[in-house]
Amino acid sequence: MEDVLAIRDEYRLQEWSQIIQAGQNSGLSKREFCRQNGISERQYYYWLKKLRETVAETASPRLAHLEAPVPQSEGILRIQKIGQADLRLPVNTDAEAVAAILRALQQLC
């Protein structure tokens, strides 16, 4: 009996996967795809959840190679060729401050 249930579950997963893939490839919003194919959005998202859970359960863990981070004191953000300017800032400089500096340089150059 367990074999029958396993086969049934595998068939359902394949069927759901094809529907989800068709929805993603359709170019339509999820809502419109479901409406055009007579599927409730709730059912669509249930299938998507089940597929993701299955992938998470069956996926084998992988090791990733990580580079040692550059110490903050050594990290330099370099922006060249803004007119005559060559800008060097610490990597952790606030993004809004960088944007303000670039706007000011753009007006000057």
Q: What is the pTM of this model?
A: 0.50
pLDDT tens string 52-109: 888 877 766 666 666 666 555 567 777 666 566 677 778 788 888 878 877 776 666 5
Amino acid identity for residue 60 in this structure: S
Cα–Cα distance, 62 to 16 (Å, whole number): 26
Q: Which helix (H) or strand (E) holds 79?
A: strand 76-82
If you search the block for the tokens 């409730």, which residue do you land on? Answer: 40
Q: Which helix (H) or strand (E) holds 97?
A: helix 95-108
Cα–Cα distance, 24 to 26 (Å, whole number): 6
- Degrees to nearest 5, angle at CA 41 with 54 and 43: 45
